[in-house]
Chains A and B, each alone.
Chain A
């Protein structure tokens, strides 16, 4: 059962820990650390409304905690045997006190319940005109679809969809609708609002929002299998004008055609047709503007622009170092990943040579949004301190680098 691997844990990176800072979701700390995930981030309207509840419950909590624990310790100190010789008083209770001690909590509870109902009345109905986004969860990735944003006829079919990176406009209520393709998952971007479960064959809609452009962390919250912890996503909140630029570019996006004879063109062929007629990537993955329309894997339309891999398991430079092994045998570096292996170990799927894998990588890296639609470069420019991972390198990494790359994901099960 226990899969213990050698390798000593690295010492934790020491960081300044300030209690005051913990309670703020402010960006002032962004220089010190990569990012602050916090449910108390007040740039979200949801969190502001929730904070009213937090304030009142915290106020009562402090009063009750201090009052009751003071009573407890006072009683113990006063009446402990070594401090008190008096014979114990044999009384059986005090009805007036009992009634008070029931009545006071009842009043507090009623007050908090009313506040909660008020907050729910404000937060739960999705306002008309909220901007809809679908979150489709599966083991272990997210596809974010924009139901109002159909792909331009000239470019392809379907809805604009991005895997694992959710782009939303700021100052806008976003109506998320979650569902799942397999087990139950949970969507949670703490800086933008509350969780919802993504349930197979069920669609649940709720709202999230933020005022502040930035990059936010999101996670799967319901145990969904081996890589539950590796089912993360990024939320990139763009100001509305920039958001529109992204959406327009995405609508018109047609996956670039690789120059004949280039590695990317060879990769394209493998992607669409597989090798020796089996194992086509297109059977599971969609790439907008190409015949690839598979629905059971994450959408790869903008793969080259993305800066995360494996549903946030790697980001920035790690994407390059892991991509090769990822395509070759994904579950060897991400436990439980359901993508077939391309090293011959999955029946019915071909073994790809390192050259073929590199060709595939080359093709995937060409799948880039035009500059005006690149949300990462935009957010990096707009919010200097934001935790923006570095972009993928334009060319595939060398084979040797990938095989030796040490990784926390090593092992699997």
Chain B
């Protein structure tokens, strides 16, 4: 791991002890370190893959990586760069490290969930690579367009789908956790409008993730079911619509671009303000820009698909939204410059990354606008112009601020400085390397070179030269990456000497030690927050930090069960990818594997056992009273945010189904599940909602035995529901071939997904039942009753929609 904080144990802990510590930790800083470390490794892997791609394209008709091998490298490069570097390092790496520190609190709202999320994230990256041992990783592009994703010659698509879904779950839990933390746990006196801009950026990014990620999950889920069971909403052979997959996919994957932007804009603003020793220029406007980008970015996804020839009105509407996004984004750029204006700018490495970002992102933004000009987009979409554009905004745009953030917060995270000279070498190699790599690609796009080509003929004007220059640039980037790793390594070997506030920053993280102690702060804060720069304001007003005895601080206790639960889920993912039921895919590489099937069956008890052990382990080893800013508990708040993502997932799938139905593609077969059974099930579910509500009230008023009975009754009702549904599914599945009727596939996918949610919700309800039965609940430990009950209500409400659109309609 490249980034590590020393543990506070006296003496140097052994390797095993450190690993155990990271497996069991609930410390947001260590979890942040895991995210950052994994991302840095992801960046290295994906970066080396990118160099391989460039080497293949260095000269025409090259034979280094041919055909599908090239496509596999390309897919892995993109998937890892996006899902295991650029999204996690900013949002979850720096987010976990600095949201609590900047808010002046000692942990996130749900620290153990945080541990679960980070390990699930790490395992999902490993899961993608397991494709290597099962015929190969996918060569379908990270976009896995249908029907290429179910092409007989493709391998590893199953596991990519599963890994994306698991990574999505981890990502949603992390996002909900941030949102809950920000709403519930700020230093007393810090209002939302006095939060540091970085926290705002994480808040808006989290909301964006929660709203949009359902699109990716839906696309991956349906593709997975198509491969595994022939259940498809996209298969044109049964009137499905392949483009629907792209709609699902881009509904998330365009907002994902902003998930890869907003945290870095926050970091950039922090760097600018600190390094220029000035307040942010237009703090409020910047916050509104963040929120504006969050909102509008949900309405631009169609611009990835202009060349599909979707009706013009739609194209124009999305073109306008696309261009509108440029306005708040431009505001951010202007305000960053405005923040620097009039300051005394400390010219250290983070500042260089910031300036490099502004300059490069300016070009990326401008070319982004040109891509909104639809007739021009028809020409250059899917060409190297687009490749250059998105690398311009991501690689030498936002990734520059990932680097900037790393250099900026490195002293805080490790207590050490990186070498300035090496830092500047790293910066300039990346700057010049990026320009050399990607600027020729803009021209290549104008000269008609399509993207994702593993070879090109020799005779096209300027293609050879431009490709060769681009490859040289990639090698320069590789050199820069090596300088960076060396810089981190040599810095890590030195003693920790950094002061608490080496840059003279203005936000609360700079009051903690470098590196911070486990408990973050050995002090409380004044409760006046005149602006978003408390340290400056307090210096002016003379307000002082209030020392706290560290021994009076209680932190959540370490536990290995979230980690084990994540292992269980990852093994389940492995088994689902390669084993279990027969595969409908014609590909030999995707026939079920015996060992994987066994692992699947083993994984279920591991998962459930660990989950219950987790639920049975109290968060704190001593009774601690939780203080939240709202009247709602952290469990409630986390679940409330998480529910947004479930609504979005069902919303996307149901939206797709309604479209297929209205367009006349999905026609119900003559014999379809009858309404009376659904009506009975509705009765069961609705009454279970009342039962669990009553149980919750009973338990709240310490009528434990009645309340527990209520939970049990809820579980029994859920079981009856499932029995009826399984009966109905078996009947409907035997009445007609589910691979032949689009309505039927939609029914099985969406109603089946709801059934899965009943099971998840049932397990969720079983947890507090178990907690009550084993006496784990007392005045200070509320267990997981509130979120479980909320989730159960959600599942019931979704059912009502399902009855309406699948049984009544």
Contact = CB atoms under 8 A, between A and B. Distances in A.
Contacts of A408: 60-63, 455
B644 interface: no
Contact of A36 (B344, B455, B460): B460
B778 to A, nearest CB: 48
A349 to B, nearest CB: 17
A104 to B, nearest CB: 9
Contacts of B449: 37
Given A109-B327, A223-B71, A335-B66, A116 B461 contact: no
A13 B458 CA distance: 8
Contacts, number: 355
Question: B interface, how many residues as a size bin?
Answer: 35 or more
Nearest to A39: B379
Nearest to B141: A223
A89 interface: yes
Nearest to A407: B61
Nearest to A194: B378
A184 B64 contact: no
A68 B333 contact: yes
Given A10-B59, A53-B376, A217 B346 contact: no
Nearest to B72: A1
Determine the main DSSP class of A at the interface with B.
loop
Contacts of B438: none
Interface stretch (B102-110, B365-373, B727-735): B365-373
Contacts of A413: 66-69
A92 interface: yes
Interface stretch (B276-284, B548-556, B628-636): B276-284
Nearest to A104: B330
Given A71-B337, A89-B342, A57 B370 contact: yes
Given A29-B461, A57-B369, A199-B242, A92 B148 contact: no
Contacts of A184: 145-148, 242
A219 interface: yes
Contacts of B359: 69, 72
A404 interface: no
Given A88-B276, A197-B307, A411-B63, A72 B460 contact: no
Interface in A1-54: 1-5, 7, 9-15, 17, 21-22, 29, 32-40, 46-47, 49-50, 53-54
A89 B308 contact: no
Contacts of B242: 184, 199-200, 202
A196 B307 contact: yes
B722 interface: no
B151 interface: yes
Interface stretch (A78-86, A127-135, A258-266): A78-86
A155 interface: no
Contacts of A212: none
Interface string A65-99: 10011011001100111101111111111100110
A405 to B, nearest CB: 13
A101 interface: yes
A183 B149 CA distance: 9
B338 A116 contact: no
A14 B464 CA distance: 8
Contact of A123 (B136, B281, B344, B375): B375
B450 A226 contact: no
Interface in B262-297: 276-285
A22 B462 contact: yes
Contact of B338 (A9, A22, A94): A94
B592 interface: no
B346 A81 contact: yes
Nearest to B348: A81
B307 A183 contact: no
A90 B471 CA distance: 46
A81 B504 CA distance: 14
A102 interface: yes
B401 interface: no
B749 interface: no
A304 interface: no
B137 A1 contact: yes
A336 B68 contact: yes
Contacts of A225: 68, 71, 139, 148, 151, 153-154
B1 interface: no
Interface stretch (A227-235, A276-284, A288-296): A227-235
Which of B67, B137, B148 has the largest number of chain A CB atoms within 10 A?
B67
A339 B77 CA distance: 30
A409 B454 CA distance: 11
A219 B450 contact: yes
B452 interface: yes
Contacts of B66: 3, 5, 335, 409-413
B185 interface: no
Interface in B348-403: 355, 358-359, 362-363, 366-367, 369-370, 372-383
Contacts of B190: none
Contacts of B369: 57, 61, 109, 112
Given A22-B443, A33-B460, A188-B382, A50 B344 contact: no
Interface of B: 52, 55, 58-69, 71-73, 76, 132, 136-137, 139-141, 143, 145-148, 151, 153-154, 236, 242-243, 276-285, 307-309, 312, 315-316, 319-320, 323-324, 326-327, 330-331, 333-335, 337-338, 340-347, 355, 358-359, 362-363, 366-367, 369-370, 372-383, 443, 446-462, 464-465, 467-468, 531, 536
**Which 3 residue pairs are nearest across A and B when measured between Cβ atoms?**
A335-B67, A194-B378, A34-B459
26 contacts: A1-B72, A1-B73, A9-B55, A15-B462, A15-B464, A21-B461, A22-B461, A47-B379, A54-B370, A64-B362, A68-B333, A72-B359, A79-B343, A80-B345, A88-B342, A88-B344, A109-B326, A120-B312, A188-B382, A188-B450, A195-B379, A217-B448, A217-B460, A223-B140, A225-B154, A226-B139
Given A94-B281, A408-B455, 16 more contacts: A7-B63, A33-B462, A50-B375, A54-B373, A75-B341, A76-B345, A88-B278, A93-B280, A109-B324, A194-B375, A202-B242, A222-B145, A223-B140, A226-B67, A336-B153, A410-B63
